[in-house]
Amino acid sequence: MSQTNDSTENSDDPCLHCGACCSSFRVSFYWAEADVHAIPVHAMEQLSPFYACMAGTNSNNPRCNALQGTVGKEVNCTLYAHRPSPCREVQVGDDKCTQARARHGLKPVFNTVVSA
């Protein structure tokens, strides 16, 4: 989830009606990020001595435990200010976003019109 969803909540923000990237992939990161972003221990799962992931995403049907709401309708990241790098790197309309949305039966955010 790349866009803001805090007190400056904007109903035009597509992420607030999506949440697909929070429920499609294992959201893993270098363990030291936990300190950098002050990620609560209960929100993470340790994968190895050096890597962790957001709890709930190390699954065949991943869904981050920090995600509230219904994917494709109304969602909210309860740890937005503390989210790790994979959440910050995905951008609305990029390949990962489009792949995640397709997994949940959602169209790409931006439709490309190809003219002849």
Is 54 one of the binding residues for ligand SF4 (CB under 6 A)?
A: yes
Is 53 one of the binding residues for ligand SF4 (CB under 6 A)?
A: no
99 versus 115: smaller Cβ distance to ligand SF4: 99
The H-or-E segment that residue 29 falls in is strand 28-30
Residue 17: burial class (beta carbons within 10 Å; 0-12, 13-18, 19+): middle
Considering only 34, 44, 52, 64, the residue that binds ligand SF4 (CB under 6 A) is 64
Q: How far apart are CA 97 and CA 42, in angstroms?
A: 26
Residue 1: burial class (beta carbons within 10 Å; 0-12, 13-18, 19+): buried
Token look-up 């050096």 returns 50
111 versus 115: smaller Cβ distance to ligand SF4: 111
Is 1 one of the binding residues for ligand SF4 (CB under 6 A)?
A: yes
Residue 13 CB, nearest distance to ligand SF4 (Å)? 8
Is 27 one of the binding residues for ligand SF4 (CB under 6 A)?
A: yes
Per the structure block, which two tokens stand in for 90?
């995905």
Q: List residues binding ligand SF4 (CB under 6 A).
A: 1-2, 14-15, 18-22, 27, 54, 64, 66-67, 77, 79, 83, 87, 90, 92, 97, 100-101, 109
